[in-house]
Amino acid sequence: MRKPLLEFTDKGIYCSAAMVYLDPWKPVDRAIITHGHADHSRYGHRQYITHHNNMPIISHRLGEINVLGKNWGETFLINNVKFSLHPAGHIIGSSQIRVEYKGEVWVFTGDYKTENDGFTTPYEVVKCDTFITECTFGLPAFKWIPQKEVFQDINQWWAENQAEGKTSILFGYSLGKAQRLLKYLNPEIGKIYTHGAIENMTNVLRPMVEFPETNLITRETKKEELLGNLVLAPPSAHGSTWIRKMVPYVTASASGWMTFRGARRRRAIDKGFVLSDHCDWQGLLDSIKATGAEKVICTHGYSEIFSRYLREQGYDARTEETQYEGELNELNATKEESVAMN
């Protein structure tokens, strides 16, 4: 039997015909990287190939690396295997990786979302035979509300807190979620303050996207000047002394996990906004159908449940273990992790 075009190895997803790894979790010679989140772009590879827009992000995160930039849809050959990157809509610079060899096409999604957020290059359907998909939110309980409505709620929440003379603290992952929040917060309500990790990452992205003005919180920042304004902070800052100094405040988290009442209460957050950079249940089903793939491989998320459902729908679907975490960091981030993340 011929070897499959992409295999799941202990280092990551491997294309033996091209001797290239996709988003590997252990150091390798050559890695094609979907996007800049820590579980997909790790330290220690000899060469990184990724989309141009992701280059400043991973360079910021990983420091001096050997990285080669590509455009959307630009094909490049490695040992006669044809690769190209296509927008995944997850965060700025996030790609799906298309792999074609001897007439067979595989697509690896990395992380993706189908909703157009208005500033990330929107997700594009790529036809393929085998589709390797994430399924972080692969349960019918997940149904996203259009972001316009979510941001109305968020801005209203901010205005209400302001009326009560309180500081609004909004948690979101420092790469991706924080910028999406920033993009649609209404700067007419008040000033937007940032945690250092978010400020730095936003500055990396400013040349590509126009964002409202932010104010970095420093040791000199007085808590009085924060009152009525909004602080953007990474989830790991929740419960820290850094936050506790800001009383009186109200906290909120923006994440797909906020669908669950329990997830919010467990973290003792006052308010939860359901906002995700991943697909919801219907988003996953629709995009799988649109690819025309017969074979589906489910990676991180509720993969067992999701692939069983796909099999019942007539797909040749299975799961593969990976070390990707999806949006887990937003749910369970601890202080140690945040140090590693930033």
Partner 1 sequence: MKNFAQLIKTLDSTNKTNLKVKALSEYFKIANDKDKVWTIAILSHRRPPRPVNTTLLREWASQLSNIPLWLFEESYHIVGDLAETIALIIPSKKSSTEKTLTQFLEEMIALKKKTDEEKQAYLFENWECLDYYERFVFTKLITGGFRIGVSQKLMTRALSKATQIDEDILAYKLMGNWDPNSITFKELVLEENESDYLSKPYPFYLAYAIEKEVEDLGEVSDWSAEHKWDGIRSQVILRNDELFVWSRGEELVTDKYPEFEAFIRTIPNGTVIDGEILPYLNDQIGTFNDLQTRIGRKKVSKALLEKVPVILKAYDLLEWEGKDLRNRPFIERRQLLEKLYSAVSSSGVEKPLHLSKTMHFTSWKEVAQERDLAREMHSEGLMLKRRDSPYLVGRKKGDWWKWKVDPLTIDAVLTYAMRGHGRRSNLFTDYTFALWDEKKNGEKELVTFAKAYSGLTDAEFRKVDTWIKKNTLERFGPVRSVTPYHVFEIAFEGIAFSKRHKSGIATRFPRILRWRQDKNIHEANSLNDLRKQIPGEPQK
Binding mask 126-165 for partner 1 (x = CB under 8 A): -------------xxxxx----------------------
Q: Which of residues 275-294 bind partner 1 (CB under 8 A)?
A: none
Asked if 38 is part of the footprint of partner 1 (rule: CB under 8 A), the reply reads no
Asked if 263 is part of the footprint of partner 1 (rule: CB under 8 A), the reply reads yes
Asked if 6 is part of the footprint of partner 1 (rule: CB under 8 A), the reply reads no
Which uninterrupted H or E stretch holds 52?
none
Q: Which is nearer to partner 1, 148 or 261 (CB)?
A: 261
Asked if 312 is part of the footprint of partner 1 (rule: CB under 8 A), the reply reads yes
Shortest separation between residue 300's beta carbon and partner 1, angstroms: 11
Asked if 266 is part of the footprint of partner 1 (rule: CB under 8 A), the reply reads yes
Helices 196-205 and 177-184, packing angle to 10 deg: 80
Q: Which of residues 188-247 bind partner 1 (CB under 8 A)?
A: none
Burial 10-22 (b: 16+ CB within 10 A, else e): eebbbbebbebbb
Shortest separation between residue 46's beta carbon and partner 1, angstroms: 29
Distance set, CA 332 to CA 70, 168, 173, 194, 335 (Å): 33, 21, 11, 21, 10
Query: Can you tell me which of 265, 289, 290, 294 binds partner 1, judged by CB under 8 A?
Result: 265
Q: Which tokens in the block code for residue 140? A: 């019918």
CB–CB of 246/226 below 8 Å?
yes
Number of residues that bind partner 1 (CB under 8 A): 23
Query: Can you tell me which of 16, 47, 305, 320 binds partner 1, judged by CB under 8 A?
Result: 305
Q: Which residue has the tokens 């924060």?
A: 226
The one-letter code for the residue type at 86 is H
Binding mask 242-261 for partner 1 (x = CB under 8 A): -----------------xxx
Q: Which is nearer to partner 1, 222 or 261 (CB)?
A: 261
CA dihedral 83, 69, 86, 53 (to 10 degrees): 170
Asked if 3 is part of the footprint of partner 1 (rule: CB under 8 A), the reply reads no
- Alpha helices in 6-142, H assignment, sequence order: 55-62
Shortest separation between residue 119's beta carbon and partner 1, angstroms: 28
Shortest separation between residue 171's beta carbon and partner 1, angstroms: 15
Asked if 44 is part of the footprint of partner 1 (rule: CB under 8 A), the reply reads no
Mapped onto helix, strand or coil, the DSSP state of residue 216 is strand
Query: Can you tell me which of 309, 319, 326, 329 binds partner 1, judged by CB under 8 A?
Result: 309
Which uninterrupted H or E stretch holds 22?
strand 20-22
Distance CA 330, CA 285 (A): 24
Helices 177-184 and 147-163, packing angle to 10 deg: 70
Q: Which residues are at the interface with partner 1 (CB under 8 A)?
A: 139-143, 259-263, 265-266, 268, 270-272, 302, 305, 308-309, 312, 332, 334
